[in-house]
Amino acid sequence: MFMFQRLREGPGVQLRSLALFAFALTLGLIPTAAGADEAHAIAMHGKPALPPDFTHMPYANPDAPKGGRLTWGILGTFDSLNPLIVKGLAVQPIRNYVVESLLARGQDEPFTLYGLLAKTVETDDARSFVTFHLDSRARFADGKPVGAEDVLFSWQLLRDHGRPNLRQYYAKVARAEASGPLTVRFDLTGANDRELPLILGLMPILPKHAIDVATFEETTLTGPVGSGPYRVTAVKPGASVTLTRNPDYWGRDLPVNRGLYNFDEIRLDYFREANGQFEAFKRGLYDFRVENEPLRWHDGYDFPAAKSGEVIRDTFKPGLPQPSEFLVFNTRRPVFADIRVRQALTLLFDFELVNRNYFFSLYSRVAGYFAGSDLSAYARPADARERELLKPFAAQIPPDIMDGSYRLPVTDGSGRDRTTLRAALKLLAEAGWDLDGTVLRNRATRAPFTFEILVTTRDQERIALAFQRDLKRAGIEPSVRSVDPVQFDQRRLAYEFDMIQNRWDQSLSPGNEQWFYWGSAAADNPGTRNYMGAKDTAVDAMIAALLEARDHTDFVAAVRALDRALIAGCYTIPLFNVSEQWIARWNRIEKPKATALSGYLPETWWSKGGP
């Protein structure tokens, strides 16, 4: 059997490898996988919901008119148009609107991918390999065809120079070959990762002829050459980016795209400050906003355009786990290394007071990271499969978390709850901290208990200041530091903080990204989302188990077991859960009647005036 290593050589050697591989296939020296058939789609578990002859996605309007402009208002700034690297603050919509992947996500299913640049996909039952067959019509925006060499180049480039999660995923590939100009096969032997074929299906494909590998990891304000429906046509550094629909877009008639990408132009306007951003929306300077502030949603939309119906408020109830906000302990810091300290500070956060005074009691609060879904372990006893998975780690998971009786602390909402204060001080004393008058001090060093809460928005600051008042009752003196979004992101990515507010958005099919969120290997790797610095053998084992699961029952058990391990680690203070998406839009923007499982999708909207 001919064996081919990862392609690191130059074009001449690559072409010789292609010829040898094709020759070997002809002689039968490289066997094809039994039971592997080309398919129009691939699902993580079960089968795709849509048949091969589907005409459009159920949440899109295939008759939506083309034309007009959609203006986004985005809080923050940017200094790069490359969202695939660590450096810089990138313009994220570039990823889907300009740069496409091999397959496209079906937004009405937990994790199913349909043909895009790749017309078909094939894998075996063990998912030991995946082969993509490219659409011969696929073209980059400069007219050059998308070929197998571009796929192999993109894999190598992102494996060696991409963001940490991309490097982690693509390094699992044992080898990659092209058996023709439009066919690429990835050998996944030894990866033991059933999600990896889908992760590779979502790989962004970049043009080999237009990328300088030597400068790829540097920030740039030059628009990338992609194969997607839009091109970057104007850039005002830090202020705005304009995307213009490519009239020659190769994939405009694909079933996955019918009714999508309807605007001739998309303008991304950036705002440095939240109040200024809202005032700009009220004046009609951008078309829609995702509202995250309950006070504003409750009584802030009383301006004339909202009263007259020119501004419409939509409420969406997605079927995904509820987005949840947390105060994150950086356990790399000695002050938060002891779990009893983290448990004590969790007791001291007065959610009942904050929810009533700040959020009009619109929020709920759940421990764990998959709130409101079947994947959540909170208030649910572990079944036999979960107990089997967690048996080697029984000492790490408290009984009340296993039997579902654990509950987050509930205060009397007065801001002066004595019961939770006494319980917190007891835990702190066990961890070596004693009250000295009104100051909590370390028993050994006599140093006061203090740390910094880093914030970047007014809403984060309000919560941090409320928590600061709670902590002072226990003799703890935290400082609250507000920084601009650029500095906040830089410090968050480098783990240069004591405590921050953050949320991890979850799907109904969590997979490889969980390594990036909580895996031990990510804890010391700047740029990941393991902000708390978790290094937990139980967490690592449960992530491995959910990736190995073949049926839905085993998968759910593994995710719930992961949730229990994370709850037991007390890495965060749960703040609140959001069960709805609040979207305000000017009535010049129309949307389909159907809502996707994932919630609102601007790519399905269109201009009311049409062309």
User: Given pLDDT bands bounded at 50, 70 and 90, which one contains residue 58?
Assistant: very high
pLDDT exceeds cutoff 70 at 505:
yes
Burial of 53 (0-12, 13-18, 19+ CB in 10 A): exposed
Burial of 211 (0-12, 13-18, 19+ CB in 10 A): middle
pTM listed for this prediction:
0.76
Using alpha carbons, select from 194, 218, 211, 116 the residue that is nearest to residue 155: 211
**pLDDT per residue as tens digits for the range 379-412:** 999 999 999 999 999 999 999 999 999 999 999 9
Backbone angles phi, psi at 273, to 5 degrees: -135, 140
**pLDDT per residue as tens digits for the range 455-497:** 998 889 999 999 999 999 999 999 999 999 889 999 999 999 9
Q: Chain-wide mean pLDDT for the chain?
A: 92
Inside any domain, residue 409: yes
**pLDDT per residue as tens digits for the range 422-444:** 999 999 999 999 999 999 999 99
Lowest mean pLDDT among 37-46, 112-121, 227-236: 37-46
Do 156 and 300 belong to one domain?
A: no
CB 59 within 8 A of CB 108: yes
Q: How many CB atoms lie within 10 A of CB 10?
A: 8
- Can you give the CATH number for the domain in which 419 is found? 3.10.105.10
pLDDT of residue 3: 33
What's the Cα-to-Cα distance from 87 to each of 82, 171, 321, 480, rounded to whole Å? 9, 20, 30, 27
pLDDT of residue 387: 98
pLDDT of residue 578: 82
Q: Using DSSP, how many helices (H) and how many strands (E) does the chain show?
A: 18, 23
Do 381 and 333 belong to one domain?
A: yes
Q: How many domains does the chain have?
A: 3
Do 309 and 430 belong to one domain?
A: no
Residue numbers of the domain that contains 31: 11-48+74-215
Residues in the chain: 611
pLDDT of residue 330: 98
- Can you give the CATH number for the domain in which 43 is found? 3.40.190.10
pLDDT of residue 291: 93
* 599 DSSP assignment: B
Inside any domain, residue 224: no
User: Given pLDDT bands bounded at 50, 70 and 90, which one contains residue 1?
Assistant: very low
pLDDT of residue 144: 98
Do 485 and 537 belong to one domain?
A: yes
User: Given pLDDT bands bounded at 50, 70 and 90, which one contains residue 193?
Assistant: confident
**Per-range mean pLDDT, top range of 93-102, 164-173, 355-364:** 93-102
User: Given pLDDT bands bounded at 50, 70 and 90, which one contains residue 329?
Assistant: very high
Do 329 and 299 belong to one domain?
A: no
Burial code (b: 16+ CB inside 10 Å, e: under 16) for 509-536 equals bbbbbbbbbbbbebbeeebbbbbbbbbb
Do 560 and 538 belong to one domain?
A: yes
Q: Per-residue DSSP letters for 555-586?
A: HHHHHHHHHHHHHHHT-EEEEEE--SEEEEEE
pLDDT of residue 293: 83
* 312 DSSP assignment: E
Do 568 and 509 belong to one domain?
A: yes
Do 306 and 346 belong to one domain?
A: no
Task: Give percent of the chain with pLDDT exceeding 90.
Answer: 81
Do 192 and 239 belong to one domain?
A: no
